Amino acid sequence: MTYTDVFPNELDIHRRAGAVLIDVREPDEYALGHVPGALNLPLSALQGRETEVPGGAVLICASGNRSSQAAAYLAGLGHQKLKNLMGGTFGWMREGRDLATGDRP
């Protein structure tokens, strides 16, 4: 099983198609700024909560490293059509896109 990398400029396409956005950073990182609409499920808490990640989800972190680890782990468990946001939140910001702050999507 594998996952697909997507670029920040492609994220809206996946969101419109119904993809759930999941930020795998720690809660304090998430609260400082995240892609609007992303839910927080830290990589450190993922084991045992895998069922909370639906097929087709887009996984996000700061740079794309942790989210690719999460995507590979979940794909190995049989999750389908997962995506990893290349460049993560930093890539999102580099394109001039806004972030949401706080502990809510």
Catalytic residue among 61, 62, 74, 85: 61
> Closest Cα to residue 15, out of 35, 44, 34, 41?
35
Residue 75 a catalytic site member: no
- Which residues have C-beta within 8 Å of that of residue 49, sequence separation ≥ 6? 41
Active site (catalytic) residues: 61
